[in-house]
Structure 1
Amino acid sequence: MVSPLTNVSAGIPSSKVKYSKLSSTDDGHINCQFKKSPTNIPYKATACASLQFLTGVFPIITGCLLLSGYISKVGANRAFPVLTVGILVFLPRFYHPIIAYRACGGCQGYSYRAFLDCDD
């Protein structure tokens, strides 16, 4: 059975715990809590997002050129599937290169925390 005069979390008897009053000028804040930690740039996530972005842009451009008849006269039979694949690859990651560019430039409201952590 634990005595009521024992600090349960540390197992120290209360007679050995020393307390001191805080200074009257202390407002409860520590200066180091307001310092920004250094930002770790997620290179793998940035490279993956940029690669997926470019992989989506290529079929979109190819599909538009097919649809307009600039590449060949196949028309919509091949253009719409190519456009669909390009849009499906492009849409999930089109904003990540923008976020990386703005975070690198130091724009307010943009940080690398928006990227998924790819480090294993």
Structure 2
Amino acid sequence: MNRSRKKHSNYSYSKLADREDFTDEQFQLPPTKIPWKAICLATFLCCVGFVLLLIGSLIITGHIDSQYSDRMWSLIVLGVIMFLPGFYHLRIAYYAFRNFPGYSFDDIPEFE
């Protein structure tokens, strides 16, 4: 015996009126805003990270004087930390600009 379900006959239901309140503009996506600040930051990170990686690798190979060899690994680690996110966001921006399927400027975080 299930007593938790009670029938309420005091409610009256009515069908809603058929209305056409929809417009075609509701279902269109707004134009995508290009996040220029984020792209500039990604470019900066990519360039500085590349330069740090280059200097670190030149120290390893001996093209730069060995008196700076104590800075080698810190340059390489910092270069990787800066280069990877910069390159990743620049790649997304490039593919979004070229209209590749699956890529959009909405995938890049904006800075307000």
TM-score by length of 2: 0.71
Aligned residues with identical type, % of pairs: 30
Higher relative contact order structure (alpha carbons within 8 Å, sequence separation ≥ 6): 2
Provide the C-alpha distance between the structure 2 equivalents of 1:58 and 1:32, rounded to a whole number of angstroms. Answer: 48
By how many angstroms is 1:33 displaced?
3.9
Q: Residue 28 of structure 2 corresponds to which residue in structure 1?
A: 35
Q: Residue 6 of structure 2 corresponds to which residue in structure 1?
A: none
Within 5 A, what are the aligned runs for 1:88-99? 88-99=81-92
Aligned length: 97
Structure 1: give runs of 5+ residues left out of the alignment.
1-18
- Point out the more displaced range, 63-72 or 85-94: 85-94
What is the aligned counterpart of 1:21 among 10, 14, 18? 18
Structure 2: give runs of 5+ residues left out of the alignment.
1-15
8 Å contact 1:102–1:110 — kept in the other structure? yes
Provide the C-alpha distance between the structure 1 equivalents of 2:85 and 2:94, rounded to a whole number of angstroms. Answer: 17
8 Å contact 1:68–1:75 — kept in the other structure? no
TM-score by length of 1: 0.67
By how many angstroms is 1:61 displaced?
0.8
1:62 corresponds to which letter in structure 2?
I
Match of 2:110, SS state, is coil
Runs of 4+ aligned structure 1 residues displaced above 6 Å come to: none
What is the aligned counterpart of 2:63 among 70, 85, 89? 70
8 Å contact 1:69–1:75 — kept in the other structure? no
Within 5 A, what are the aligned runs for 1:1-120? 20-22=17-19, 31-74=24-67, 76-119=69-112
Provide the C-alpha distance between the structure 1 equivalents of 2:37 and 2:74, rounded to a whole number of angstroms. Answer: 30
- Point out the more displaced range, 79-88 or 66-75: 66-75
Identify the structure with the greater helix proportion.
Answer: 2
By how many angstroms is 1:30 displaced?
5.1
Provide the C-alpha distance between the structure 2 equivalents of 1:68 and 1:37, rounded to a whole number of angstroms. Answer: 52
